[in-house]
Amino acid sequence: MLLVGRTVQTAVRRNLCRPFSASKNYLHERKGLVLGVFEDEGEEGRLHLTEAAAHFNQSVSGRLSELLQISGPKLKKGKSRIFYGIHKDFPCVAVVGLGKNDAGVCGAENWDTSKESIRQGMAAGCQLLQELELNTVEVDGCGDAQSAAEGATLGLFHFDQLKSKKKTKVSLQLHGSADAEGWEKGITYAEGQNLARLLMEAPANHMTPTAFANIIEEKLAPHAQRVTINKRPQNWIKEQQMGAFLSVSKGSEEPPVFLELHYNGSPDGKQPPLLLVGKGITFDSGGISLKPSPSMDAMRADMGGAATVCASIVTAAALKLPVNIIGELPGVKNFPRWFGFSQKTFFLSKENKWRFLKEVDNTDAEGRLILADALCYGHSFNPRAIVNVATLTGAMDVALGSAATGVFTNSNWLWEQLHKASVVTGDRVWRMPLFQHYTKQVTDSQLADLNNIGKYSRSGGACTAAAFLREFVTAPHWAHLDIAGVMSNKDEIPYLRKGMSGRPTRTLVEFAASLAHDG
């Protein structure tokens, strides 16, 4: 009898855990469903259904829990199974493991483990159903509808705009009567990050500075009452005496664009703005200091700082956050050209206190130059805080890899706000030093006031880059986010497919939302 029982178990498992070939049209006509299960702490190997999964289990007379028991070992976090034909409305039901139900914030990992597990699980389930070419998928809120929506939406993103064969577009819906408001918020957060991913993935001949500005203008068009867009041309850049920005632009025939966005979300309009500055190098060849060929392809995403900043402002506008935000995006291509941007270039920037003679010893350290001019200009708005975001240094990738964004800041308050936001989103940040040790390396220049790479170009490269930027900041609350390490994703973040990551867009949005809440 035991042998027969095992044989029956195996037969059931094989028939209910694999697709049946005759069902393709049927699958197109029906919805898929993703449900979650937690690990039961009380008994080894048992699973605890989420509220939505338990309700579904009741509707199929306990068949779901029965199938989970006979389909193999316990469902580990991030793993999934698909069952077929157990509900008339859902021919495909994906069940995903969510780990422990009470995991919460982990001090060692600096994130909320429960939220991350839900994002990972819902992404895995939705990706499985997308492969079956289902058009609509309902998603279990898992007690945290925002995280479920984020995971599902981020997990389904795939850049195939330039391919003839595209993945199935999946419409996501919240299953049951869970937190609909949290679900919609999560969708908006994730769509913001997906916008940044879309911008970063696009090839450089499609994503010129002008094209970038036009796309952002189009994305912000529905929010025209709250948003002012200024696409500043080259003549305006010259008038502002942005010598560093103009110097970098000389290597390319593409004209530079200084994109300036004003989101006015504060009810009275009197709140000092949050200033976000993003590096907008739409392609970085390295200039005369040419990059090695294997590194060049990814440099289509060297405008990741501008992409995440713009996506954050688009998201803030969609959420109608009661906060004022100004975005500055100096957009340019860094190309080599004999009469253009080259080593041992010297140039002046803004007058008065911003009048610096800079020595360029490496044209591949151009991002800090265009950011310097943007930071100088940004002080004129008397911002509440300044946050600049840039894929600035390979040294940051060496230091932290893809685990977290490196943050250099002169403000404990600003660090705490950014860190708190990153714990919520799971898109982590990590504080890096701004010692005078690094400042001396960029200010000790034989020929000028500053050197763009410092005395020791390889040692502490991310830190000397931050020290260079600090020379252009007088604001008491400033942070530089070096996102070079988190620019792309291989398999590190389970709910992001391979490609450009769009990080840390959700952390920036959560940070802006916290400022709105705190007033």
Between CA 502 and CA 509 the distance in angstroms is: 12
- Residue in the structure block whose two tokens are 């995403």: 301
- HEC secondary structure over 180-217: HHHHHHHHHHHHHHHHHHHHHHCCCCCCCHHHHHHHHH
Between CA 262 and CA 189 the distance in angstroms is: 20
pLDDT at position 16 is 44
Omega before residue 504 within 30° of 0, cis: yes
CA distances from 438 to 75, 185, 388, 449, 462 (A): 49, 41, 19, 15, 10
Length of the chain: 519
Within a domain: 101: yes
Nearest CA among 157, 326, 332 for reference residue 228: 326
Report how far apart the first and last C-alpha atoms of the chain are (Å, whole number). Answer: 70
pLDDT at position 351 is 43
Within a domain: 188: no
Structural domain harbouring 135? 2-158+167-178
- Residue in the structure block whose two tokens are 């008339």: 88
Residues 281 and 172 in one domain: no
Within a domain: 186: no
Between CA 493 and CA 425 the distance in angstroms is: 13
Residues 123 and 200 in one domain: no
Within a domain: 355: yes
Between CA 147 and CA 189 the distance in angstroms is: 10
Residues 347 and 485 in one domain: yes
CA atoms within 13 A on the CB side of 34: 39
Q: Are 49 and 65 in contact (CB under 8 A)?
A: yes
Residues 172 and 213 in one domain: no
Residues 172 and 214 in one domain: no
Determine the Cα angle at 286 with ends 283 and 287, to 5°.
Answer: 100
Residues 150 and 277 in one domain: no
492 φ/ψ angles, rounded to the nearest 5 degrees: -70, -45
Residues 308 and 409 in one domain: yes
Among 178, 206, 227, the domain-final residue is 178
Within a domain: 283: yes
What sign has the CA pseudo-torsion 398, 402, 404, 407? positive
pLDDT at position 216 is 98
Beta-sheet strand order (sheet of 357-360):
345-348, 357-360, 450-451
Q: What share of the chain is helix, strand, coil (3-state, %, to 5)?
A: 40, 20, 35
pLDDT at position 354 is 44
Q: Are 151 and 119 in contact (CB under 8 A)?
A: yes
Within a domain: 389: yes
pTM value? 0.92
Instruction: Point out the catalytic residue in the list 368, 470, 497, 506.
Output: 368
DSSP letter at 270 equals -
Among 178, 209, 225, the domain-final residue is 178
Find residue 258's DSSP bridge partners: 232, 330
Residues 147 and 207 in one domain: no
250 included as an active-site residue: no
Residues 288 and 401 in one domain: yes
Q: What is the CATH number of the domain that holds 354?
A: 3.40.630.10
Within a domain: 185: no
455 included as an active-site residue: no
Q: Are 425 and 510 in contact (CB under 8 A)?
A: yes
Residues 206 and 152 in one domain: no
Between CA 36 and CA 97 the distance in angstroms is: 6
Task: Report the relative pairing of strands 478-482 and 405-409 from DSSP bridges.
Answer: antiparallel
Reduce the DSSP state of residue 95 to 3 states and report it: strand
Instruction: Point out the catalytic residue in the list 13, 100, 291, 384.
Output: 291
Average pLDDT per block of 10 residues along the chain, 519 residues long: 35 42 51 92 72 96 92 83 94 94 90 96 96 95 97 96 89 92 98 98 95 98 96 96 89 93 86 96 86 87 97 98 97 76 51 54 86 95 97 96 98 98 98 96 83 78 96 96 97 96 98 87
Residues 171 and 209 in one domain: no
DSSP secondary structure, 310-351, as one string: HHHHHHHHHHT-SSEEEEEEEEEEE---TTSS-TTEEEE-SS
Task: Report the relative pairing of strands 357-360 and 324-334 from DSSP bridges.
Answer: unpaired
pLDDT at position 244 is 87
Among 115, 150, 178, the domain-final residue is 178
Within a domain: 184: no
Residues 264 and 402 in one domain: yes
Between CA 437 and CA 454 the distance in angstroms is: 11
Q: How far is CA 421 from the centre of its chain?
A: 13
Q: Are 469 and 388 in contact (CB under 8 A)?
A: yes
Find residue 450's DSSP bridge partners: 358
Q: What is the CATH number of the domain that holds 64?
A: 3.40.220.10
Q: What is the maximum span of the chain, computed from C-alpha positions, in angstroms?
A: 91
Report the domain count for the chain: 2
